[in-house]
Chains A and B, each alone.
Chain A
Amino acid sequence: MTRTAGVSVRKAGVPAGAVEVCSIRLGSSVYGVPIRHILEIVGAARPQPVPLAPAFVGGLVHYRGDVLTTVSLRQVLGLPPQAGTQAILILESPDGCFGLLVDSVGEVLTVAAPDIEPNPSTLGDARKGLFVGACKLKHRLMVLLDPTRLDPALLGAAQAA
């Protein structure tokens, strides 16, 4: 699988030490995923539900000939489900690809390294495992996600344990 989609979003001339982050919206919060993990963004998708699947599974989607498992970020974070269509980020992981179900996808931001701070010590353990840190935007904070920790295989194993 090629990373053409990821490349196409990337802007030329990113300063050294800076990260390009795709902002995603979930309810009133803003999260960020580094775009080097993103293969493609699929809008207005309706994943096929899987009966008896673990709660974090948002369903199945058809992506370039493969059937991918999606992870519902709302479920993972313990938020109530949202009605209506959602967007899916197709993310790369060592086990293959998976989809991340979010409310909507925003713009791609270039974030300088000094603007990123680690998780606050007061954050709950479950969240600490999923978040990399916080990114200080002009008016608000953007929580940086670590896509590798959202892999359905990992979440499944964590739940089993």
Chain B
Amino acid sequence: MPIDDLAREFLIESQEGLDRMERCLTDLEQRPEDAGLLAEIFRSVHTIKGTTGFLGYRRLEKLAHAGENLLGQLRDGKLAAAPSIITVLLQLLDGLRSILKGIEADGSEGRDSDDVLIARIEQMQVATPPVAGPAPKGRARSKRVKCLPRKKETAVPATELAPNVEAPAPAVPVSTPSVPIAVPVAGPQVNAAESTLRVDVSLLNRMMNLVGELVLARNQVLQATAGDPKMTLLSRRLDMVTADLREAVMKARLQPVSNLFSKMPRLVRDLAHALHRQVRLEMEGQETELDKSLLEAIKDPLTHAVRNALDHGIEPADVRVAAGKEPEGILRLRALQEGSHVLIEVADDGAGISPEKVRAKAIERGLVPANRAGQMTERELLQLIFLPGFSTASAVTNVSGRGVGMDVVRTNVEKIGGKVEIDSRAGKGTTLRLRIPLTLAIIPVLIVRSLSQSFALPQGALSELVHVSEEEGTAAIEWIDRAPLYRLRGHLLPLVFLNRLLEPAAVDAEWSQDRSKQCYIAVLDADGRHFGLVVDGLNDPEEIVVKPLSSALKEIGLYSGATVLGSGELALILDPGSIALRAGVTLANDEDAHPAAEDASASASTGGDFLLVQMAGRRAAVPLGDVLRIEQISASQVEYMGTRPILNFDGHLLPVEDVGGLLQEDRGCPEAGIIVVVCRDGARQVGIVVSHVLDVATGGDLVEAGTGQRTTGVTLLKDSVIAIVDLRQVPDIPVDTPCREAAVGGFAEPAMPGSMELLP
């Protein structure tokens, strides 16, 4: 039997009602006295019952009716919402859901019998006999209720009218029973219906696709009209409108995380019962919004993470008490937006992950050789739980621990361009962070050149760029047999030549000549694999629209999609993870060799990332978020306005701060190379002269002794206290220069030869 529009509407409405009911039921367990919750639950079931009778779904009606009777008693205060009743109500919810599912699938209610469930529901009612009232009177009233114009109310059962039996108001009998039901049903729903609209997801997808096309057309128009002053105004407007439209369409696809989080109270409740744990679930940031498809994609990983937290994280009450903790464990779900990402945290205050157990298990499973495992640091050991086939639960339970564990979480999250980070302290708890991009359809990439073609490299995996000039070429890249390496701040970084990877046969012929060409190294961090991708050239960063590839090309494995660039050229999107795998890059094994991964996991909790620089005799820190790029220039390029040093980049002047007095030293020899860190300070750019760029590290919070207040101006980097350069202290250039433009165009400027770009 095919379902018609009316039935479809009913299904959607009922499912929403049941979702609401589920939320309320888990809340009800905390606040059994809350009449509002009970009324809400009653309404959900009541609405279903009312409509099913009308649509002819007998089985659904029967079950809903049984539930409604029980709920009526609860609502009227004749029954207390004991846990056993809530369990039955949850079973009722599941029963209703499964019937609805059947109707959605094939239009029929299915043949299964609900008698057992109905009996159980009735049993609950019998447990406390209803307050006896004069039955005839009640019946008489129910007849009058039927006079109400509201169709839904006609099905109100007699039990529900029972409380009014005692109410001595025969003069206005009609209004009393209906008011608590009718008013809330009508109130908020009517308003929502007026201001909202149901839109088919496929239509939204199509809109998103079209907007993507518009973005492409805009890019092309912008490039074509760049030199024409008459078109500038028009193309700028086109640019703005396109950007706004894109944002609006993207917004239309966003859904609050609460849609996902709302499933969790029930899950946690059921799991807590099954595992005999006491758990309090705290949720935060439910209003955070995420693309619908992404929300769907993280449903499984999140569910899995919650299961893990309960199964492996939070201990049984007696163990917790013995460890000096509250018997009730806390599971905290938190969502927040961080730039172009949404961060979802699953934190428990359980036993944490014991690095020793992980080590032992990893050796036992043969995931790492014993001698290697012995040398691993705690952080590295924690990363092992993401390996396929790893599970620390000593007993395999039916909740989690079937060997498909965290690796599935990681794979699923990385599939949508996200990242998983884990933090755990033995005895204190574990925090799992899922970092999810806001949208899938449009991603920021850097366009790189190789084999005279353009390729798109997702910015998410990119940690920095290194330029190797022609002169340095041979010396900078060192070789062990056929494995090229680069010394990045004193550590060896394995290199992958993109051209050699993509065209093994053709490039081998020009093997020797290849070595001395200038090139760029894109330092990538993909799935914990740290390596440098060598490309011939760099173009601008771009926001691209991802287009899927045909299955024949997907099978190559190195490309995650394709895109059309502003120039109209097509570019394949490289998949850094697969490139690392293909080239045989293994997981980074030296703690210092993957600073990017480390920083990323720590940055959420501490003061952020800093660029550690050496200025003459002292070290200083520059907030990494403010760093636009690092320029290597000769001292003679620095000019002076009075005593103020300034730099001229293509007609854009920026004030230069020379705290260490390095320029004074170099004044004698104008050809001496100096390094200028170009930073963003509000709308302007400033340069800071440094002797060396040392590292990128995450700052730690410092507090003042006694007051406990957080300090400003200094941070803890690599275990020493370092002053943060205050960019605001750099004096302005005293003339009206086009500095603003420089600030806007700064990041999009093509990399200058001899410069190293840092990408935020």
Which residues from chain A sit less than 8 Å from chain B, CB to CB? 48-54, 57, 60-62, 65-69, 95-96, 98, 152-153, 155-156, 160
Contact = CB atoms under 8 A, between A and B. Distances in A.
B563 interface: yes
B552 A155 contact: yes
Interface stretch (B372-380, B553-561, B691-699): B553-561
A152 B552 contact: yes
A57 B570 contact: no
Contact of B558 (A49, A52, A61, A160): A52
B550 A153 contact: yes
B564 A62 contact: yes
B313 interface: no
Size category of the binding interface on chain B: 20 to 34
B210 A65 contact: yes
Contact of B552 (A48, A54, A62, A66): A54
16 contacts: A48-B453, A50-B556, A52-B503, A52-B556, A52-B558, A54-B552, A60-B553, A62-B570, A65-B209, A65-B212, A65-B216, A67-B548, A67-B562, A69-B549, A96-B550, A152-B550
Given A52-B502, A60-B562, A67-B570, A95 B556 contact: no
Given A50-B556, A51-B503, A67 B551 contact: no
Contact of A153 (B552, B568, B570): B552
B269 interface: no
A22 B210 CA distance: 31
A96 B563 CA distance: 17
Nearest to A69: B550
B755 to A, nearest CB: 29
Interface in B468-526: 502-503
Interface of B: 209-210, 212-213, 216, 451, 453, 502-503, 547-553, 555-556, 558-559, 561-564, 568-572
A54 to B, nearest CB: 6
B552 A67 contact: no
A51 B570 contact: no
A65 B549 contact: no
Contact of A51 (B210, B502, B547, B561): B502
Contacts of A61: 570
A54 B548 CA distance: 17
| In the complex, the 10 A-B pairs of residues with the closest C-beta atoms, listed nearest first | A156-B552, A51-B502, A69-B550, A48-B570, A152-B552, A67-B547, A67-B562, A65-B213, A153-B551, A52-B556
Contacts of B562: 60, 67
A57 B572 CA distance: 14
Contacts, number: 68
Contacts of B213: 65
A38 to B, nearest CB: 18
A67 B563 contact: yes
Contacts of A57: 552-553
A53 B553 contact: yes
Contacts of B563: 67
Given A53-B556, A65-B210, A67-B562, A156 B572 contact: no
Given A65-B209, A67-B547, 5 more contacts: A50-B559, A52-B556, A52-B558, A62-B564, A62-B568
Given A54-B552, A69-B553, A48 B547 contact: no
Contacts of B210: 65
Contacts of A62: 564, 568, 570
A53 B554 CA distance: 9
Contact of A156 (B212, B555, B558, B569): B555
Contacts of A160: 555
A59 B683 CA distance: 44
A60 B573 CA distance: 13
A149 to B, nearest CB: 14
Contacts of A48: 453, 569-572
A144 B209 CA distance: 35
A155 B216 CA distance: 31
A51 B568 CA distance: 19
A65 B503 CA distance: 28
Contacts of B548: 67
Contacts of B571: 48
A95 B549 CA distance: 11
Contacts of A66: 547
B499 to A, nearest CB: 9
Contact of A60 (B216, B502, B503, B570): B570
Contacts of A152: 550-553
Contacts of A69: 549-550, 552-553
A124 B559 CA distance: 35
Contacts of A60: 553, 562, 570, 572
A49 B453 contact: yes
Nearest to A71: B552
A53 B558 CA distance: 10
Nearest to B502: A51
A68 B550 contact: yes
A50 B563 CA distance: 13
A51 B210 CA distance: 29
Residue picked from B209, B548, B561, B572, most chain A C-beta under 10 Å? B572
